[in-house]
């Protein structure tokens, strides 16, 4: 019989802290749900419209909530203020923080697009249900994600538009999958001029068909696994983390075919999560998005060596990390 491991009994102080931490870990989803509720009620935008700070009674009135809900709203706001979503300026008075600034809807602040779609998709019913199925999924010998196993379709399936529009809104965001700056190959030593840049956006037909032509961007309907339109540089932003390593190699191989040689200035620009344990509090976000990708897609978040391996397998000769933007890395990848 194997020897039993020696069990060190924690101190009373450690056990009390552990009990509080156990509640915290078990109930973290309450923060997610309170966060979703604040977004759905439109609290960040309402605080902004009320002049940047708002008292609870003002919020209740502006949101047209029943007055009896004020004490409940106080409890939600107190939790969200503790989590940094809002800040308090006085008793029962709240103001925006950088997190809630990202959630202003219908207000153009220096061209920052509202991130409400991300919150609503991440907390959508189909996604939460997939997460609840994680234990069953571990016990089954299946290849697809817990989302696919439970719902029978992938996150990107067209049926999601009807099943849960919140997921569809972010999974099929009309922003570019692969935006290609298609100026003719130029002297690599010359600096790019904005006016010479032509932009092509590749996405699936059902996404492209919904975008009105603007005469500026060339929208191309297609499949990045089959063909990426020729370009001087191809930009792939927050796309690859949804896909397995094998799929990433296939996508990047198509990108490589689309660009000229390294000597002629050809490159692929990849902007995606770069897992880095030294990135402080951002690292927890990197790991949370990684597990979200595991539950919702066949993708994952990658550290630098994972990215390097994929770039090499896709036939690229080298890469540079030109910037780290929060949890994201900006890579230039050379043919």
CB 44 within 8 A of CB 59: no
Closest to ligand SAM by CB, 125 or 206: 206
63, 66, 115, 124, 301 from 44: Cα distances, Å: 11, 19, 12, 19, 30
Residue 102 touching ligand SAM (CB under 6 A): no
Does 207 help bind ligand SAM (rule: CB under 6 A)?
yes
The answer to the question of residue 202 lying near ligand SAM (CB under 6 A) is yes
Say whether residue 239 binds ligand SAM (CB under 6 A).
yes
Per CB under 6 A, the list member of 164, 168, 203, 272 interacting with ligand SAM is 203
Q: At what angle do helices 125-132 and 281-296 cross, to 10 degrees?
A: 90
Which CB sits closer to ligand SAM, 141 or 162?
A: 162
Task: Report if residue 243 touches ligand SAM, rule: CB under 6 A.
Answer: no
- Using the rule CB under 6 A, is 181 a contact of ligand SAM? no
Q: How far is the CB of 82 from ligand SAM (least distance, A)?
A: 30
Q: Which stretch binds ligand SAM (CB under 6 A): 61-69, 132-140, 233-241, 309-317?
A: 233-241
Q: Annotated catalytic, 112?
A: no
Name the active-site residue from 48, 241, 242, 283.
241
Distance CA 214, CA 17 (A): 58
Q: Is 19 in the site for ligand SAM (CB under 6 A)?
A: no
Q: Does 173 bind ligand SAM (CB under 6 A)?
A: yes
Q: Which is nearer to ligand SAM, 47 or 116 (CB)?
A: 116
Question: Beta strands of the chain (E only): which ranges?
Answer: 53-55, 86-90, 93-96, 178-181, 199-203, 217-221, 233-237, 267-275, 302-303, 318-325, 328-334
| Shortest distance, position 172 Cβ to ligand SAM, whole Å | 5
Give the integer Cα–Cα distance in Å for 63 and 67: 10
SS3 89: strand
The yes or no reply on residue 237 touching ligand SAM (CB under 6 A) is: yes
A 10 A CB-CB count for 320 gives: 11
203 in Cβ contact with 177 (< 8 Å):
yes
Token look-up 């690859």 returns 240
Q: Contact between 268 and ligand SAM (CB under 6 A)?
A: no
By CB under 6 A, tell whether 224 contacts ligand SAM.
yes
CB atoms < 10 A from the CB of 277, how many? 9
If binding is defined by CB under 6 A, does position 14 make contact with ligand SAM? Answer: no
Q: How many residues bind ligand SAM (CB under 6 A)?
A: 16
Q: How far apart are CA 145 and CA 312, in angstroms?
A: 26
Tally the C-alpha atoms within 13 A of residue 78's C-alpha that lie toward its C-beta: 8
Please say which residue, 150 or 178, places its beta carbon nearer to ligand SAM. Answer: 178
HSE of 183, CA atoms in CB hemisphere, 13 A: 17
Tokens of 331: 């890579």
User: Least distance (Å) from ligand SAM to the CB of residue 145?
Assistant: 15
Residue range at the interface with ligand SAM (CB under 6 A); choices 3-11, 53-61, 237-245, 306-314: 237-245
CB of 83 to ligand SAM, least distance (A): 24
Q: Using the minimum distance from each CB to ligand SAM, give the nearer residue, 77 or 228.
A: 228
Annotated active-site positions, please?
A: 241
Which residues of the shown chain bind ligand SAM in the complex (CB under 6 A)? 156, 172-173, 175-177, 202-204, 207, 223-225, 237-239
């Amino acid at each position: 019989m194997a020897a039993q491991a020696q069990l060190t009994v924690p101190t009373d102080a450690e056990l009390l802290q552990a009990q509080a931490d156990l509640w915290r870990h078990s109930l973290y989803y309450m923060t997610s749900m309170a966060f979703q509720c604040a977004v759905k009620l439109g609290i960040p935008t309402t605080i902004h419209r009320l002049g940047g700070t708002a008292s609870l009674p003002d919020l209740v009135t502006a949101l047209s909530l029943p007055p009896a809900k004020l004490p409940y709203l106080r409890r939600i706001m107190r939790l969200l203020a503790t989590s940094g979503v809002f800040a308090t300026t006085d008793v029962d008075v709240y103001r925006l923080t950088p997190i809630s600034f990202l959630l202003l809807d219908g207000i153009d602040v220096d061209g920052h697009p509202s991130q409400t779609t991300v919150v609503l998709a991440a907390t959508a019913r189909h996604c939460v249900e997939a997460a609840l199925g994680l234990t069953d999924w571990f016990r089954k010998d299946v290849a697809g994600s817990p989302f696919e196993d439970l719902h029978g379709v992938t996150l990107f399936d067209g049926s999601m538009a009807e099943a849960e529009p919140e997921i569809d809104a972010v999974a099929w965001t009309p922003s570019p999958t692969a935006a290609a700056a298609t100026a003719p190959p130029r002297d690599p030593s010359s600096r790019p001029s904005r006016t010479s840049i032509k932009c092509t956006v590749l996405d699936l037909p059902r996404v492209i068909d919904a975008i009105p032509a603007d005469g500026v961007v060339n929208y191309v309907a297609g499949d990045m696994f089959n063909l990426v339109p020729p370009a001087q540089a191809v930009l792939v932003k927050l796309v690859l983390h949804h896909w397995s390593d094998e799929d990433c190699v296939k996508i990047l191989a198509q990108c490589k075919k689309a660009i000229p040689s390294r000597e002629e200035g050809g490159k692929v620009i990849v902007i995606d999560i770069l897992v880095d344990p030294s990135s402080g509090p951002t690292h927890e976000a990197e790991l949370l998005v990684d597990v979200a990708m595991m539950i919702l897609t066949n993708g994952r978040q990658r550290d630098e060596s994972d990215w390097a391996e994929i770039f090499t397998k896709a036939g690229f000769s080298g890469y540079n990390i030109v910037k780290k933007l929060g949890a994201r890395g900006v890579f230039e990848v050379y043919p």
